[in-house]
Amino acid sequence: MIVNYYSLEECAEAIGTVVVIDVLRAFTCTAFALGGGVASIFLVGEVAEAFALREQMPDALLMGEVKSQRVPGFDFSNSPAEIDGVDLRGRRMIQRTSNGTQGMVRSVQAETILAGSFCCAEATVEFIRRQDPSTLSFVITGYGPGGRGDEDVALADYVHARLRGETPDPEPYLERVRNSVMGQRFPDPNWPDFPPADLPCCTALDRFNFAMPVVRQDGRLVMTAV
């Protein structure tokens, strides 16, 4: 298996089975939403697209952010703790984020595509094993200068190790999430859009036993729990 890592800017080149990673926090949010019973999540690139899609699906809930801030008119922000415990059985959601959904929209060459977060890590490993792809591509959506995105690289490294048959201690990988540039914002009161309760959600290893593949339906990107 050939394994490649791509940034958000490079992911249009990603091929094979593509794992788009956004640990802090888009795809932790989708995991908690699906864990709460959401039937499907529609992923979009723009806020206007999210509102337009809800006009077609009035029952759908909107979730996401712009530059980490809650979007006026959205039902949920980019906070897994806000979703945790909410009864969402049978609902549909529409998600727009600044990194995670952008990676999904831009990964146009993927043969198979799925979202990655630590709370679905082992299920993601098993999904990839069943696929047995010749090429595996990780999209590190948080990548940026100054060490940004190491929380996403940590998950890619962990999943890659598990695919090699290793049984690594997960704690050093989870500590990379906590110590990452973005991870350090959660305990800091100067960042009110990063509630401290989100960080334990984002490091809740294997809390859910499903992977989060995304398929195209009528030109739309749709995520479900598998």
Per-residue pLDDT of 34-80, as tens digits, reads 999 999 999 999 999 999 999 999 999 999 999 999 999 999 999 99
Contact 141, 100 (CB under 8 A): yes
For range 82-100, the mean pLDDT: 97
For residue 54 the two structure tokens come to 């809800």
- Name the strand (E) or helix (H) holding 212: strand 212-217
Q: Distance between CA 174 and CA 168 in Å, rounded?
A: 12
- Give residue 123's pLDDT: 98
For residue 18 the two structure tokens come to 């593509």
Nearest CA to 61 among 85, 81, 86? 86
Q: How far is CA 7 from CA 73, 129, 189, in A?
A: 30, 23, 29
Give, as one character, the DSSP assignment of residue 20: E
Backbone angles phi, psi at 71, to 5 degrees: -90, 120
Instruction: Report pLDDT digits (tens) over 122-178.
Output: 999 999 999 999 999 999 999 999 999 999 999 999 999 999 999 999 999 999 999
Residue 135: alpha-carbon gap to chain centroid: 20
User: What's the pTM value of the predicted model, to 2 decimals?
Assistant: 0.97
Q: What is the mean pLDDT of residues 192-198?
A: 96
The three-state secondary structure class of 215 is strand
Of 12, 20, 63, which is closest to residue 212 (Cα–Cα)? 20
Token pair in block for residue 153: 């690289």
pLDDT at 89: 97
* Domains of the chain, CATH where assigned: 2-223 (3.90.1560.10)
Q: How far apart are CA 184 and CA 192, in angstroms?
A: 12
